[in-house]
Amino acid sequence: MTQTPARGREIWLLLATFLVAVAGLIYELIAATLSSYLLGDSVRQFSLVIGVFLSAMGVGAYLSRFVTHALRGFIWAQILLGIAGGFLAPIVFYAYAWTGAVALPLFGLLILVGILSGMEIPLIARALKDIGVPEFRFENVLSVDYVGALAASVAFPLLIVPQLGLMSASLVFGALNLCVAGLSLWLFRPETMRSQWGVWGLALMLTGAGLWQSERLVNVAEAALYEDDIIFSETTAYQQVTVTRFRDRVRLFLDHSIQFDSFDEYRYHETLVHPAMAQASRRADVLILGGGDGMAAREVLRWADVERVTLVDLDPKVTEIFHRNDDMAALNNGALRDSRVTVKNGDAWQFVEHETAQFDVIIIDLPDPKNLALSKLYSRAFYSLLMERLSPRGVMVTQAGSPFYAREAFWSVRATLAAARNPVRPGAGLWTLPYHAYVPSFGDWGFVMAAPYAAKEVAVLPEGLRYLTPETWQQAQVFGPDTGALPVEINQLQSHALVGYYLEGWARWFE
C-alpha cells in the first residue's frame, strides 16, 4: 500500500492542529455559557470554567508523555473528544432538567475534555517528528493552535450560538473531532489499530444520530425544564429566550429565569410604571430601559399626554417576538406597534452615554443584577449618567428586586440611587422613595423612585388598572421589620457590592 508522502501528512497534522484548537475552545465556551446559564453569576462561572479547563489541559500535557505511540494516542484523543465534547451540552442539559444537578456532570466532562485537549499539541508535535518532518519547529504548531483559538472565540458569539444553539454546537464540534480522527485513520492507516476504527465508527453513528435528532433532544430537555408547553425557544447572541403557554397563560423566561407570567404581570408593571408617571410634572417623553416584552410600554401609553416613548432593549429577538407575533403583541396591547413607540436594540449604558435628549420619565425594567454585566446598570456611575438625561422636574424609577428574599440588595439599590449625582442640585444627592408590591410569580417585589427634587404625592391614576389604587399605593410604601431598611454599601463599579448581596440573599432561600 502506497503511503501518503511526508509533506502531505505534515500539512494535514498542522491543519488538524487548527481544527482541534477550534473545537477545544468551543467546548470551553460552551461549558462556561452553560455554567453561567444554569448556575448564575457569569463572571464567577466563566472564571472557574477557564481555570479548571486550563488546569486539566496541563494535566493532559503531562500525561501525554506516557503515550507510547503519538499518532495512535492523538487519534484516540480525537475519538474520545468527539464523544465527551460532543455530548457535553446534551448531558448537562438533561442532568439539569431531570435531577437539577449541574456541577458534577459539567465539571466532570470539562476536566475530561481539558485533559484530552491538553494531550493534543504534544502528541501532534511528536507525530510530526515521527514522520520525519524536516526542520520541525514546535512554535509552528503553537502558532496554528493560537490562530484556531482566535477563530473559535470570534465565531462563537457571532455565528455558532445564534445559528446552532448550545446543544447542536456541542454535537457539531464533536463531529469535527471525529472527522479529524477519521481522516487521520485513513491517511495513517498502516499505523493505526483495528479497534480504533470500530470505536470511531460507533462514535460517529451516535453523534450522527444526535445531530439528526438534535431538535427533538432540545424539545425533550426543555419540556422537562418547564411546566408548560414551549411555544418559542431560541438561543440568541445574548441569552436563551423561551416562551411557554398553558391554556391562556403565557410566561417569558430569559436564561431560564422567569420574566413575567401573564396571570399576574399587571401587578408588577402597574406598580413599576404608574407611581412615577403620576408624580412627573410632564410626561411627553418617556425612556424605558429593558422591557422588551412591551408590558411597561403598554402601561406608559395609558397616559394620554405621552407623545414619545423610547424603548431600549439589548436583544432584538425579544422585541421582535412581542412586536411581530400577534399572540405576543396582544399581551402588550400592541404597544410596540404604536407609532409613538421607538424601539432601539442595543446596550443601555451605551445608549444613555451617547443620547443627548432629555426625558420626563425614565423607567428601568432590567434583569436582576446577578452578574457584573448587569450590576453596572445598577451602579452609582450609571444612575448619575441617567440623571443627565432626566429633565429637571422628571422622575426615574427602577425595579430593585425582592426586599424579602434579597433584602440587602434592595436597600443597596436605594442607597446607590440616593448617592448618585444630582445635576440640578449639585452635592444634594437624589430624593428617593422605596416601595414594594406582592407579585405571586416573584413574591414580594421592590421598586425605587428617584428625582432631583422631592416628587409630589400620587394624585391621579389612569382608569382601568387591575391592581394599583391610591390605597394599595399607600400600603406599598410601608415595610415590615423583616423587609425594612438596614445599613448597606452602595453599588460602585470598583466594588459591585450589589452582586454579592443579590447572590447571597437568594442563596439563603433557594440553595
Give the 3-state secondary structure of 20-86: HHHHHHHHHHHHHHHHHHHHCCHHHHHHHHHHHHHHHHHHHHHHHHHCCCHHHHHHHHHHHHHHHCC
Q: 221 and 161, same structural domain?
A: yes
Q: Which of 369, 396, 376, 386 is nearest to 492 (CA)?
A: 376
Handedness of CA 116, 120, 126, 132 (dihedral sign): positive
**Which three three-digit cell numbers place residue 131?**
514522520
Please indicate, yes or no, if residue 231 is contained in any of the structural domains. Answer: no
The CATH number assigned to the domain holding 402 equals 3.40.50.150
Phi, psi (deg, nearest 5) at residue 254: -115, 120
The CATH number assigned to the domain holding 182 equals 1.20.1250
* Whole-angstrom distance, CA of residue 379 vs CA of residue 496: 8
Cα angle: 11, vertex 19, 177; to 5 degrees: 115
Q: 192 and 294, same structural domain?
A: no
For the chain, the C-alpha Rg in angstroms (whole number) is 27
Q: 291 and 217, same structural domain?
A: no
Q: 188 and 279, same structural domain?
A: no
Q: 269 and 151, same structural domain?
A: no
Q: Is 61 annotated as a binding residue?
A: no
**Residue 2, pLDDT score:** 42
10-residue averages of pLDDT along the chain (511 residues): 58 83 87 76 76 91 90 91 90 77 85 92 82 63 78 82 81 92 88 87 90 71 66 79 85 83 94 95 95 96 96 94 92 96 94 93 94 88 94 95 96 96 85 96 95 81 93 95 94 88 86 64
Q: 289 and 203, same structural domain?
A: no
DSSP secondary structure letter of residue 314: S
Please indicate, yes or no, if residue 48 is contained in any of the structural domains. Answer: yes
Q: 354 and 268, same structural domain?
A: yes
Q: 479 and 373, same structural domain?
A: yes
Q: 289 and 169, same structural domain?
A: no
Q: 210 and 287, same structural domain?
A: no
* Marked catalytic residue, from 365, 368, 444, 482: 365
Please indicate, yes or no, if residue 188 is contained in any of the structural domains. Answer: yes
Paired residues of 365 in beta bridges: 290
If one counts the domains in the chain, the total is: 2
Judged by phi (left if over 0) then psi (alpha if -120 to 50, else beta), residue 432 lies in: beta
Which one of 201, 225, 249 terminates a domain? Answer: 225
Please indicate, yes or no, if residue 242 is contained in any of the structural domains. Answer: no
* Whole-angstrom distance, CA of residue 396 vs CA of residue 279: 10
Q: Is 274 annotated as a binding residue?
A: no
**Which three three-digit cell numbers place residue 286?**
418617556
Q: Is 348 annotated as a binding residue?
A: yes
**Residue 3, pLDDT score:** 47
Helix (H) or strand (E) holding 104: helix 103-130
**Residue 135, pLDDT score:** 57
Please indicate, yes or no, if residue 454 is contained in any of the structural domains. Answer: yes
The 3 state secondary structure assigned to 158-195 is: HHHHHHHHHHHHHHHHHHHHHHHHHHHHHHCHHHCCHH
**Residue 219, pLDDT score:** 63
Q: 329 and 271, same structural domain?
A: yes
Judged by phi (left if over 0) then psi (alpha if -120 to 50, else beta), residue 291 lies in: left
Q: Which of 83, 78, 79, 84 is nearest to 13 (CA)?
A: 78
Q: Is 239 annotated as a binding residue?
A: yes
Q: Which of 114, 124, 128 is nearest to 25 (CA)?
A: 114
* Whole-angstrom distance, CA of residue 124 vs CA of residue 117: 11
Instruction: Tell me if residue 41 is catalytic.
Output: no
b/e per residue, 266-275, with b = 16+ CB within 10 A? bbbbbbbbbb
* Whole-angstrom distance, CA of residue 40 vs CA of residue 17: 33
**Residue 311, pLDDT score:** 98
- Output the pTM of the full model: 0.73
Please indicate, yes or no, if residue 250 is contained in any of the structural domains. Answer: no
For every residue of 218-234, DSSP letters joined together read: HHHHHHHH-SSEEEEEE
**Residue 241, pLDDT score:** 86
* Whole-angstrom distance, CA of residue 445 vs CA of residue 401: 6
Q: Which residue has the cell 479548571?
A: 52
Please indicate, yes or no, if residue 235 is contained in any of the structural domains. Answer: no
- Domain span at residue 436? 263-508
Q: Which residue has the cell 407623545?
A: 307
Helices 103-130 + 42-63 axis angle, to 10 = 40
**Residue 276, pLDDT score:** 95
Please indicate, yes or no, if residue 130 is contained in any of the structural domains. Answer: yes
Q: 284 and 396, same structural domain?
A: yes
